[in-house]
Amino acid sequence: MKNIHLIMMGKGGVGKSTIAVLLAQALKRKMAGLRCADLDPTNATFSGYPALDAKHYDIADDDFNIDPSEFDRLMEDILTSESDWVIDTGAATFLPLMNYLIQNKLIAFLEENNRRVIIHAPLVGGPAMDETIRGLQAILKIGTASVVVWENDFFGPVEKNGKRFLQTAGYEQFKSRVLGLVHLVKRDPKQSEKDLLAMNERRLTWDEALTDPKFLIMSRQRLTVMRREIDEQIDAVEF
């Protein structure tokens, strides 16, 4: 069965594209022919990484509703390929896309066609935490798709009343659907975080950054440590 990885969240600026980039690189290490798609109508970051070759699909009309003709092109490409996919969706189309998936029973349809849908959802700390929690709850209530939760500490610790996601009642309720958890740890902003931001701003993959002389030796070492920690967590998820 082929896997369709959807990165989804209704709140913008919480790391969806970063998750898509990290996930695509980890999966490309293990498989040939991975396909990447960017559905974000306003900030197509994922397709800005040349090495990942993510195709942009303009699935939204001027009112950010789903354009069926463009979405059909995406579905045609998915269903006629023998590849796994990583698909970065946009915050602006979160609710229309959720409704479109439900109305057309697309998760079940993809499963009937030997494609398993896995939704990757970021949780962040700080002011946006409650909104990402609500987004995750909405995702867990649709269909039967498995979910991978990404705890992104770059905006603050992802804790609610002193509890992380795995300690909450929400996890207990839906744990049969949760394939795994990836924790993006915020490090010293003067060092590791600065290196990661520089890599992302230049739209570089790990491999590109680690061979780029513009990154000093210790910067490349810090990136190597981060890559190892993140890839190990992704590899631990049973896709």
DSSP for 111-174?
HHTTEEEEEEEEEE-GGGHHHHHHHHHHHHTSSS-EEEEEEETBTB---BTTB-GGGSHHHHHH
**First vs last C-alpha separation in the chain:** 10
Residues 43-89: pLDDT tens digits? 999 999 999 999 999 999 988 999 999 999 999 999 999 999 999 99
pTM, two decimals, is: 0.95
Domain 2-187 in CATH 3.20.20.60: no
Q: Is 57 exposed, middle or buried (0-12, 13-18, 19+ CB in 10 A)?
A: buried
The pLDDT assigned to 225 comes to 93
Of 21, 13, 229, 239, nearest to 122 (Cα)?
A: 13
DSSP 80: T
Residues 180-189: pLDDT tens digits? 999 998 877 6
CA angle 156, 160, 162 (to 5 degrees): 95
Residues 85-118: pLDDT tens digits? 999 999 999 999 999 999 999 999 999 999 999 9
d(CA 221, CA 239): 29
Sequence-ordered list of residues with C-beta below 8 angstroms from that of 217, at least 6 positions apart, any chain: none
The pLDDT assigned to 159 comes to 87
Domain ranges of the chain: 2-187
